[in-house]
Amino acid sequence: MPQRLAPFILGAALVRAAIGATTSIAAFPDPPVDESGHHAAKRESAVLAGGCFWGVEAVFDHVQGVVNAVSGYSGGNKKTAHTVLVEGGGTGHAESVKLTYDPAKITYGQILKIFFSVVHDPTELNHQGPDIGPQYRSVIFYGDDDQKNVAEAYIRQLDQAKVFAGKIVTEVVPLHGFYAAEELHQHFSDRHPDNPYVVANDLPKLAALKKKFPELYR
């Protein structure tokens, strides 16, 4: 994966992509609606895509209430859920992360707030920072109507409030399958904190998470 493994110089554009287009969390509202709460007694899952899955997973690996995060592929079929094929951009897959979380400790709406304000810039179409192609698009793969309603309402709210300079391009689509990526991709940023790509693109996201959500950082 030459796009990710090549060294990158950390500059203003990459910092902006890493922490989103907002300058203050005070301007970032909470979701207007959240999960109904009828699943609060059991663990839930969420599948999100927002650029390279290394960075998405790195953030949620450090969020209180997230029990597990797995890098993988969603949007295409099982036969094409392999790094070499997905990197070509024609499989329909987006690099995604499946989160297992405890709804008694963190809600789906809170997860989306982190997704939009820290994980990526949702106004970038088919790319994030140095990574270009539909495999790096912004997607919320919803598992039920609760998740769909929370996501759509939040996007409307953020657009109407003009939280970002541009219009949000995040897709909200049903989850038809999630396929875990190869082991080398799992928790990559935590295992390789000195990797040039991680230093330039992922560590700023962790710094933003700690600054904006200290109560949820672990």
List residues with catalytic annotation.
52
Decide if 172 contacts 140 (C-beta within 8 A): yes
What's the alpha-carbon Rg for the chain, to the nearest Å? Answer: 16
22-158-137-216 Cα dihedral, nearest 10 degrees: 60
Nearest in space to 208 (alpha carbons), one of 18, 4, 3: 18
For 36-73, give one letter per residue: b (16+ CB within 10 A) or e.
eeeeeeeebbbbbbbbbbbbbbbbbbbbebbeebbbbb
Separation between Cα atoms, residue 94 and residue 153, nearest integer Å: 23
Helix (H) or strand (E) holding 110: helix 108-114
